[in-house]
């Protein structure tokens, strides 16, 4: 992973159906510690839907941070595709749940 502007991250998501799904993320804007923007890009053989994502980190109080993630798809049909095909809405909730569990388990 090249976590820098114009850097990229190639990853493979392992689906509950046993299939692997290739993905590529291109980082567009990084302002540590409060903001990251990236584009989910495709290459031949990768997932067919692209989207633009912005993640905001807002310090609420000591050791409390609000994370807001916004994903923009080219069309409502693209959004429907990732929800219907991959359960992306449920996967997002599960991912943020695991993040909360991880943060809550950190003794620092």
pTM: 0.83
| CA 58 vs CA 67, 81, 93: distances in Å | 6, 31, 19
CATH number of domain containing 63: 3.30.530.20
Q: Rounded to 5 degrees, what are φ and ψ at 43?
A: -130, 165
What is the predicted pLDDT for the residue at 2?
Answer: 94
- How many domains does the chain contain in total? 1
| pLDDT confidence band for 107 (50 / 70 / 90) | low
pLDDT for the residue numbered 76: 95
pLDDT in tens, 6-64: 999 998 888 778 888 888 999 999 999 999 999 998 777 677 788 999 999 999 998 88
| Residues spanned by the domain of 75 | 8-103
SS3 9: strand
């Amino acid at each position: 992973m090249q976590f820098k502007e114009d850097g990229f991250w190639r990853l493979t998501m392992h689906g509950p159906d046993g299939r692997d799904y290739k993905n590529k993320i291109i980082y567009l804007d990084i302002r540590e510690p409060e903001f990251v923007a990236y584009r989910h890009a495709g290459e031949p053989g990768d997932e067919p839907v692209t989207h633009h994502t912005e993640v905001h980190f807002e310090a609420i109080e000591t050791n409390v941070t609000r994370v807001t993630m916004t994903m923009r798809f080219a069309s409502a049909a693209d959004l429907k595709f990732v929800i219907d095909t991959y359960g992306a809405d449920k996967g997002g909730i599960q991912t943020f749940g695991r993040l909360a569990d991880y943060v809550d388990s950190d003794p620092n």
